[in-house]
Amino acid sequence: MGSNTTRNMQVLNLRREFELLRMKESEKVKEYVDRLMSAINKIRLLGVELTDIRVVEKAIVSLPERFESKISSLEDSKDMSQITLTELVHALQAQEQRRLLRQEDTSEGAMIANKKGKPISNEAWLIDSGCTNHTAEDLHKFINLDKLYSSRVKIGNGDSVEVKGIGDVAIQIQSGTKIIPNVLYVPEINQNLLSVGQMLEKGYSLHFQNQACVILDGDGNELMCVKMMGKSFSIEWKKPGNLALTSRLEES
């Protein structure tokens, strides 16, 4: 009877471990599947049945948001009650590989800041299609900062660094002081970054042509033209010729 009680407690604890399993944002598909199968095998060794369908269902619901489009695609094209864990893993790994290749292409040519690399200028800002938010490394640039905001971001060398706040940054251009809103404070990077995605969300458009980046506001007015230097686009706000000096720049 004591043996049965011990076994039942083991089963209960292992089931709880199984139900709480979630794939971490930093994990690769293989790493998570190995953790998942380890928990499943422990349960099965105690004589408890876990069907293949239940395992696949668990794997799907415990995936992070970045795999949502792949799961939706599988649901549209396959009978999910018939898909095997091996098929699911192969599909997820294919998406993971494509994502890694896109990140490598984005980071090539110093498009994403690297802690060890030498910055172009402490006052310059790189136009970056790989970062999801504007990012600055100098606390003194912020005119206000919410230090309660925290998260982590990946940089070009693959390291994960801490975000220590979000706020508005003041920049000096030839016509005076302008504000860049919603900027992440990341002291460990060495290059300020302007997020292409964040600019597009604000209604701006960016055109890359003839080795230059032309930025237009929502009405089609040219705000600036940034020439390519070393396969990157760096804005030096006080440099003559970069800015169209429109009065609407503070919205950028």
Highest mean pLDDT, choosing among 4-8, 30-34, 119-123? 30-34
Q: Quick one: what percent of the chain has pLDDT higher than 70?
A: 81
* 152-178: average pLDDT: 79
- Residue of 196, 228, 224, 190 whose CA lies nearest to 209: 228
pLDDT at residue 94 in the model: 86
pLDDT at position 76, please? 82
CA angle 132, 123, 107 (to 5 degrees): 40
Average pLDDT over residues 30-35: 92
Residue 132 contacts residue 154 (beta carbons within 8 Å): no
Question: What pLDDT shows up at residue 131?
Answer: 81
Q: How far is CA 126 from CA 4, 88, 107, in A?
A: 64, 38, 12
- CATH architecture for residues 125-251: Beta Barrel (2.40)
- Residue 169: CB partners within 8 Å, gap ≥ 6? 134, 136, 141, 142, 143, 179, 180, 183
Distance CA 14, CA 31 (A): 19
Q: What is the mean pLDDT of residues 141-160?
A: 80
**What average pLDDT score do residues 217-224 get?**
84
Cα separation, 242 vs 193, whole angstroms = 16
Query: Is 243:174 a contact under the CB 8 Å cutoff?
Result: yes
| C-alpha to C-alpha distance for 34 and 93, rounded to whole angstroms | 13
Amino acid identity of residue 240, one-letter, is P
Three-state DSSP at 181 gives: strand
The mean pLDDT value of the chain amounts to 80
Q: What element of type H or E holds 55? A: helix 52-61
Confidence tier at 250 by pLDDT (50, 70, 90): very low
Rounded mean pLDDT, 135-162? 82
Name the β-bridge partners of 207: 214
Nearest to 252 by CA among 190, 206, 188, 207: 206
Residue 180 above 80 pLDDT? Answer: yes
56-94 tens-digit pLDDT = 999 999 998 888 888 888 888 888 888 898 999 988 988
Query: For position 107, what pLDDT does the model report?
Result: 44
pLDDT of residue 103: 55
Lowest-pLDDT range of 115-124, 157-166, 219-228? 115-124
> What are the sequence ranges of the domains in the chain?
2-107, 125-251
10 Å CB burial of residue 23 (0-12, 13-18, 19+) is buried
